Amino acid sequence: MKYLVVIVDMWLVILFYVLSSFALESQPVKGANSASDLAAASFQAKGTINISLPELSFSAQFVAKIVGEDSAGISFYGPMAVLLVKAFSNKEFFEYYDVFNNWAITGIPTSENIYKSSRIPLSFVDIVRLFKGQLILPTDSLVEQRKDGNKVLYSRKSGEIVNFFLMENSQLVQFQQKNLEDKIILNILFPEYQTIGNYTLPKKILLQLEERKGTVSLIIDQIDFNVDTTKSFSFNIPKSVEVFRFE
């Protein structure tokens, strides 16, 4: 039970937020996906999440369905295709059901609730844009720190945190957060991209979590844009399940 609780505490919940969609105005980077086109797309994604922390190492498979900017459903599977978790979210509400341990989380998908459940200093909007390999801010709001050939490093200070974005050939290859004492808080690498139809999306995302002294790798094996969006992805949580609410 311990290893599942740790995972829920951090990255099964966060991955679900990541795979949800949202409405966001931004200025697309030259050569990158159109933010509006990608936000409107509906697709199914399959892949693997690998977690390595001092207290455990764990892998799980996931299947997610995303409907434009409106809603998303996701399921996580362990060995022998055993269902571990299923979840649903739209812009106003989310539900997360840990089938294995028989408990659930429901609430509103705000940045405060994301931090409560994961301790990750990113907003819902930030996480989704990073998952799609896009800048989380308009380029004209960033400061160009240096340029070396096809690589450009941008930064922006937000309160007590400084955000860094390393672009190579107009693609995001690294996102980093530091505090004002220059200590790394979060480091995300995008070592590999894949082109599917009209979209270029990360195939692999590596997250280095300084506070948790661990890493999380997300590998997206398959994306299918021909997905049935006529059926709702929401579900009913059994009455016998203990529910934690984040309002």
Do the Cβ atoms of 122 and 131 come closer than 8 Å? no
d(CA 74, CA 77): 10
Q: What is the pLDDT of residue 164?
A: 94
Do the Cβ atoms of 67 and 73 come closer than 8 Å? no
What does the block give as tokens for 128?
């989704």
Per-residue pLDDT of the chain (247 residues; tens, 9 = 90+): 433 443 444 455 555 554 443 333 333 333 345 555 655 567 788 999 888 888 778 788 988 777 765 677 788 898 889 998 888 877 778 888 888 888 888 887 776 776 666 566 666 556 666 777 777 777 788 999 999 999 999 999 988 889 999 999 888 999 999 989 999 988 999 999 988 877 888 899 998 877 778 888 889 999 887 777 667 677 889 899 989 887 7
Helix (H, G, I), strand (E, B) or coil at 176: strand
Do the Cβ atoms of 142 and 31 come closer than 8 Å? no
Q: Which residues contact 4 (CB under 8 A, 6 or more apart)?
A: 84, 98, 100, 101
Hey, what domains does the chain have and what are their CATH numbers?
2-246 (2.50.20.10)
| Cβ count near 229 (within 10 Å) | 15
Q: What DSSP character marks residue 230?
A: S
Helix (H, G, I), strand (E, B) or coil at 136: coil
b/e string for 116-152 if b means 16 or more Cβ within 10 A?
ebbebbbbbebbbbbbbbbbbbebeebeeeeeeeeeb
Q: What is the pLDDT of residue 22?
A: 33
Q: What is the pLDDT of residue 123?
A: 62
Q: Which residues contact 144 (CB under 8 A, 6 or more apart)?
A: 152, 153, 154
What DSSP letter does each residue of 45-64 carry, written as one string?
EEEEEEEEETTEEEEEEEEE
Q: What beta strand segments (E) does 37-170 contain?
A: 43-53, 56-67, 71-77, 83-90, 94-98, 103-107, 143-148, 151-158, 161-168
Q: Judge residue 74's burial from the number of C-beta atoms within 10 Å of its C-beta, 0-12 exposed, 13-18 middle, 19 or more buried.
A: buried
